[in-house]
Amino acid sequence: MLDMAVLWLLALAPISALLLLPMLAKLKLAWVWLPRSALLIFQFIFCREYLENITAVGPRTVGSPENEILTVNYLLKQIKAIEIESSDAHKISVDIQRPTGSFSIDFLGGFTSYYANITNVVVKLEPRSGAKHAVLSNCHFDSVPNTPGASDDAVSCSVMLEILNTLSKSSDPLQHAVIFLFNGAEENILQASHGFITQHRWAKSIRAFINLEAAGVGGKELVFQTGPENPWLVQAYVFAAKHPFASVVAQEVFQSGIIPADTDFRIYRDFGNIPGIDLAFIENGYIYHTKYDTPDRILTDSIQRAGDNILGMLKYLATSDKLAKSFDYRHGNVVFFDVFGLFVLAYPARVGTIMNYIITAVTVLYLGKKILQPRNRAINYMKELSVAFGFTLLSWFSTFVTVLIVAVFISLIGRSLSWYNHFYVSIFLYGTAAAAKLILAHTLAKKFYYKVSYLGEIFFDVSLLVWSIALVLITQLGLCSAFVCAMWVAFPLLTKLLIYREFKQKGATIRFVMIYMLGMFIPYLYIMYLTWTIFEMFIPIMGRSGTEIPPDVVLAAFILSSTVILSSYFLNFIYLAKSTKKTLITLTTVFGVTLILVCSGVFFPYSSDSANPKPKRVFLQHVSRRFYGLNGNLVKSDSGIWINGLDYAGISHITPHIPELNDTIRTNCEDKAPLCGFPWILPVHFLLRKNWYLPAAEISPTNPVHFKLLAKEQMPWDSMKLTFEVSGPSHMSLYIRPHERSTLSSWSLGDGTPVASIGGDYFVFYAHGLQAVAWRFWIELKAAEKHSDGMVSLAIAAHYFFGEDQKSPQLYALMERFPNWTFPSGWVCTYDLFVF
């Protein structure tokens, strides 16, 4: 008979695992970093100085003097100093590129980008005799407005400077060139990388790239994208990275579009047809793109670790024979994952497919042996297995419904994100609810349906069957993440075969249980490790995922999935226990107390703790809007401060501090205006449908927008061509809406084919660096007949992210009133609508 304490341990295994995740993560860091720290301080001692000097200039928005002059001059000065001290074995070439171009991208529902005279600092390190092929290392030195951008991405540029310094001083010549691209317009949705890879004279020599990014502040840099279809690059990482942290699961999650983000990896892959590796810091995403992203929050260990890994990779690739023939090694995907940060396992996806089917076949043989028994026993086993299989699925479904009802209830009463600043609240609320419901369902089945109590064997087989089916399905979908299911089938099955003992109440000794637990230890620990990585990425994202996605529902679903996975092979112990009453009472009590505390508002979502801030993000735009009619007359105008809270809670937590910000000033959509008549900097209107508009004084920027129609031409193919010229600040957004029975057939942007955003309007993101000429473009429209209200509406929004026009006195005064647990990011903008 099992001891009750052991039963509690087994029943609460998933809860215990989720609660131990942060500790596991910290232990993992210690294992990885301690052996190398002494060596790396010497090699990368100047990185922090670079980082502090780059961020000292302040926010580096594209077009600002801080980005285009101060940072560029600093980089050039450091590169020149490195060149002076470089070895005679190498040659360093420097180029300042200021490209102009346009492209369309399906990110954020699809839009088109146009850039003019933005800045790239490009450095080529090559053998004295020159090199035909090159590997690219990419970072970006620009930042989003109002943030210092230490982790995103000044630290990567600092690491690259020191790697350039280290490689250039080496007396060993390289076989291939290393190109260091310090790109100055990544936050403008990947503009600078596009300008480089499509226009720079060195771009054609590049055979592979490493992209350095951030989705958090410091920590470990995760390899979350590779390829496409270049297993040799992953093998290079396996060989060269001294502190590996990589996951094909992260790659497939990111490329699914679930995470609303993108990197320069896409540009090099899609427009350059070049294979590469994408790395990003993912720890502490709560302060990513906020004023708290400062150099002091990035640990020296993070810088050392990243530098060691990237230096090793670049050294390996720059001396590899495979680089020159990289396209010859383009054959299939690769399964890769690190084992607790100690080493990386990588093998071709086709090998993984074979392994998955072999594991499935062994499972079929194991279950088939039980079916091929004497007739009566086989029929009874099949019946019991089918019933148990159906009941397991039913218990999962009922648990799913129960937990989601709780999450929806929390969202409806306005208590969402209570766990944002208190990780354990989510486990105590949704984890205990899931575990209690699962245990209750099986307890009821045991009491009222099953007449015998020796069912541990059957429910073990059910778990094996479920995960085998999942393994086959995921493998059939071509997903490399199937290795997780393979692990979750192979280890339990191997353990069971080695034990040679059925899960029977009389034979289930403590010794047997401990052997079983040891067999499950490796897959269980890895699932915990992977779960925490996903937690670490996703929870901070919930604070900037918009007003339309209920974060509690998302997190509850994730915790529920984790609970189901982690409890799969332990629920069978319920059928070995005499009673689960105390376990259920404990779980229910914890859930009930947590629910009461959450509903009463005890757990405030945000924090202003200087050591560990978790701010609420709010965008404030002081906008003046003007709407013009077909004849050019001003139809109406207004001014106000347009407010967007970036999470599901909107501004409900801010209203008690600033009473005039309440639901009485919710915005109304201008139905006839593109994007509802508001100045979106990016086409994220479908994510932020709840926003507020506080009336304010009219603004008059010193550098206003000038928008004019230059030409109107009837084309021979029965379409109308309209040519426009626009001048204004460094950032502008153009919105186009063809009227009913009119279509936008072509334009001078992107590849010439208009790309509509979600909702049907056309969105063009425009940015320029210094000394850019006026922007000229044309559109071509076709109409079935003449319209009294015109053919098309065009709106131009101008955004003032820096300089004297950035903030009005009224905007500044309002921002000063925001509580210290918020991060209000504000700027001035204008919106002008024209009809033609």
Active site residue 186: yes
**For residues 758-770, average pLDDT:** 93
Computed over every residue of the chain, the mean pLDDT equals 88
Catalytic residue among 68, 83, 162, 186: 186
Q: 285 or 571: whose pLDDT is higher? A: 285
**Position 266 confidence tier, pLDDT thresholds 50, 70, 90:** very high
Over 47-105, what HEC string results?
HHHHHHHHHCCCCCCCCCHHHHHHHHHHHHHHHHHHHHCCCCCEEEEEEEECCCEEEEE
**Position 762 confidence tier, pLDDT thresholds 50, 70, 90:** very high
Residue 360 predicted with pLDDT over 80: yes
What's residue 145's pLDDT?
A: 95
Indicate the range of 176-190, 332-346, 423-437 predicted with least confidence: 332-346
What's residue 6's pLDDT?
A: 43
What's residue 8's pLDDT?
A: 47
What's residue 41's pLDDT?
A: 38
What's residue 262's pLDDT?
A: 85
Give per-residue pLDDT as tens, 58-97.
999 999 999 999 999 999 999 999 999 998 889 999 999 9
Residue 264 predicted with pLDDT over 70: yes
CB 392 within 8 A of CB 493: no
What's residue 368's pLDDT?
A: 85
What's residue 570's pLDDT?
A: 81
Residue 497 predicted with pLDDT over 50: yes
Closest CA to 301 of 414, 205, 210, 221: 221
The set of residues, in sequence order, having a beta carbon less than 8 Å from that of 806 and lying 6+ positions away, is 800, 827, 828
Percent of the chain residues topping a pLDDT of 70: 92
What's residue 32's pLDDT?
A: 38
Q: 5 or 568: whose pLDDT is higher? A: 568
| 461-to-14, 468, 632 alpha-carbon distances in Å | 19, 10, 75
What's residue 442's pLDDT?
A: 84
Give per-residue pLDDT as tens, 317-328.
999 988 888 777
What's residue 9's pLDDT?
A: 47
What's residue 14's pLDDT?
A: 59
Tell me the C-alpha distance between 397 and 391, whole Å.
Answer: 10
Give per-residue pLDDT as tens, 10-43.
445 555 555 555 555 544 443 333 333 333 333 5
CB 153 within 8 A of CB 187: no
Tell me the C-alpha distance between 290 and 284, whole Å.
Answer: 12
**For residues 699-715, average pLDDT:** 91
The set of residues, in sequence order, having a beta carbon less than 8 Å from that of 174 and lying 6+ positions away, is 90, 125, 126, 127, 131, 167, 318, 319
The set of residues, in sequence order, having a beta carbon less than 8 Å from that of 480 and lying 6+ positions away, is 248, 251, 252, 333, 334, 335, 336, 349, 352
Residue by residue, DSSP assigns 242-275 as: SS--BBHHHHHHHHTT-SS---HHHHHHHTT---
With H, G, I as helix, E, B as strand and everything else as coil, classify residue 746. strand
CB 94 within 8 A of CB 192: no
Rounded (to 5) percent helix, strand, coil in the chain = 45, 20, 35
What's residue 19's pLDDT?
A: 57
The set of residues, in sequence order, having a beta carbon less than 8 Å from that of 302 and lying 6+ positions away, is 155, 218, 219, 220, 221, 281, 283
Q: Kindly report the number of other CB atoms within 10 A of residue 353's CB atom.
A: 17
**Position 692 confidence tier, pLDDT thresholds 50, 70, 90:** very high
The set of residues, in sequence order, having a beta carbon less than 8 Å from that of 813 and lying 6+ positions away, is none
Percent of the chain residues topping a pLDDT of 90: 61
- Helices and strands (DSSP H and E) totals, the chain: 23, 22
CB 142 within 8 A of CB 205: no
Residue 316 predicted with pLDDT over 90: yes
**For residues 756-762, average pLDDT:** 90
Indicate the range of 430-439, 542-551, 561-570, 784-793 predicted with least confidence: 784-793
How many residues belong to the chain? 836
| 514-to-518, 579, 587 alpha-carbon distances in Å | 6, 20, 24
Tell me the C-alpha distance between 405 and 434, whole Å.
Answer: 12
**Position 783 confidence tier, pLDDT thresholds 50, 70, 90:** confident
**For residues 743-764, average pLDDT:** 92
Indicate the range of 140-149, 189-198, 661-670 predicted with least confidence: 661-670
What's residue 502's pLDDT?
A: 54
| 22-to-29, 151, 529, 531 alpha-carbon distances in Å | 11, 22, 9, 10
What's residue 381's pLDDT?
A: 79
What's residue 322's pLDDT?
A: 87
What's residue 511's pLDDT?
A: 67
Tell me the C-alpha distance between 781 and 741, whole Å.
Answer: 10
With H, G, I as helix, E, B as strand and everything else as coil, classify residue 764. strand
Q: State the chain's maximal CA–CA distance in angstroms.
A: 91
